[in-house]
Structure 1
Amino acid sequence: MGEKIVLLDEAGHAIGTAPKAESHHKTTPFHLAFSSYLVDASGRVLVSQRAHHKASFPSVWTNSACGHPAPGESLRDAVARRVKSELGVTVSDITLILPEFVYRAEMNGVVEHEWCPVVRAFVDAEPVLDPDEVEDIQWRDWEGVKALREDPQASPWFLDQMVHLVPLGEPLTWTQADERLLPPAITW
């Protein structure tokens, strides 16, 4: 059957599911996703370049890893699963940072329309990339991450997230947001 995404109404309630592979196109339905920022003990943040052959947003530089929670899967479990799959590392201390982040973006006729909570998580191993998902990675200090906003290859969701993340200061100082602000379709 393949991976399923959780479809949402505008208030964030689940209204069904759909196959992920068939759901990202010019009329992509509003659905649940997440973005993660992986941080090491020194405060460096992992940024990633999406694989050149991906159907949606190929080659863009963005946060560490993105994904879609499966129906019934908690946000923490979805982050751990996807980071392990894409980057081959185990995360710890997952912290909810932006529970209400919503965006819509288009590239090459493919639309992303997501309620996409943003989390920070820690890793202490070097990633092993899944070439179907990730083309390249870089560890950057926070100033280097902020500089990525000037890169024309930066993803639109990364740019929108940075508007909210930069005022929060260094990633090591980010604090847990209120999980009650998550969409009703997912548990923390």
Structure 2
Amino acid sequence: MSDELILVNMKDEETGHQEKMEAHRTASLHRAFSVFLYKVVNKKVYMLLQKRAEGKYHSGGLWTNACCSHPRRGETLEEAVPRRMMEELGIRTEVKEVFSFTYYHRFSDICAEFEYDHVFVGRWEDKVTPDPQEISETVWVELSRLEQQMMDAPDTFTPWFMIAAPKVNAVIREEVSV
């Protein structure tokens, strides 16, 4: 399947398609998704973070949510999300969309993210098998510790994570009543 991304307008209505690297070079608004996974241990909530592989075309070596990607041309979010969780983490679990947002971030003269990002949340209690081409490391971090790390070292996290994580943390806390 082609790595053509789905271009959208500010209402997330499809407007066309563009090859992935070209969409990032030209900063074209495109559909994306971010998956946040959590578990509860002894009444404490932990979030799964991944460290992006150094070889990624942007944000290599930064911490972010469990899985993030784009649906491909002709692919729905319902198809893309489980596909990428299996490809990146080697898992299948149910997730639900909790909100969406649009963000823009320029990484270099030739790379920017301009995304309409759909945010999904789910529980996972087991091991993951990260694809080393995508992920160099994973870790479970207790939510209050994570929030402190975000305050102390925001530049160690991806831009989209810094936007979405505070709202996701509130959703998770409400879900598990912690």
1:38-77 pair list within 5 angstroms: 38-42=37-41, 43-77=45-79
The aligned residue for residue 178 of structure 1 is none
Go from structure 1 to structure 2 and tell me whether the alpha carbon gap of 1:47 and 1:81 turns closer, same or farther (over 3 Å shift).
same
Letter in 1 for 2:37: L
Which structure dedicates a bigger proportion of its chain to strand?
A: 2
Unmatched runs of 5 consecutive residues or more in structure 1: 175-188
Go from structure 1 to structure 2 and tell me whether the alpha carbon gap of 1:124 and 1:173 turns closer, same or farther (over 3 Å shift).
closer
> What do the CA deviations read for 1:77-127 (whole angstroms, capped 9, x no partner)?
2111101101111122x12111x3111112233210000011102224311
Which structure dedicates a bigger proportion of its chain to helix?
A: 2
Q: State how far apart, in whole Å, the 2-side matches of 1:158 and 1:82 are.
A: 17
Q: State how far apart, in whole Å, the 2-side matches of 1:171 and 1:82 are.
A: 27
Deviates more, 1:119-128 or 1:160-169: 160-169
Q: How many residues align?
A: 171
Deviation at 1:167, TM superposition (A): 4.0
Letter in 2 for 1:2: S
Unmatched runs of 5 consecutive residues or more in structure 2: none
Runs of 4+ aligned structure 1 residues displaced above 4 Å come to none
Q: CA RMSD in A?
A: 2.1
Contact 2:2 2:73 in 1 (8 A): no
> What do the CA deviations read for 1:18-76 (whole angstroms, capped 9, x no partner)?
12133222x22000000010123534210111111111221111111101012333323
Letter in 1 for 2:126: A
The aligned residue for residue 23 of structure 1 is 23
Go from structure 1 to structure 2 and tell me whether the alpha carbon gap of 1:171 and 1:40 turns closer, same or farther (over 3 Å shift).
farther
Letter in 2 for 1:31: H
Identity %: 26
Are residues 1:117 and 2:118 paired? yes
Q: TM-score, normalised by structure 2?
A: 0.85
Contact 2:23 2:30 in 1 (8 A): no
The aligned residue for residue 5 of structure 2 is 5
The aligned residue for residue 91 of structure 1 is 93
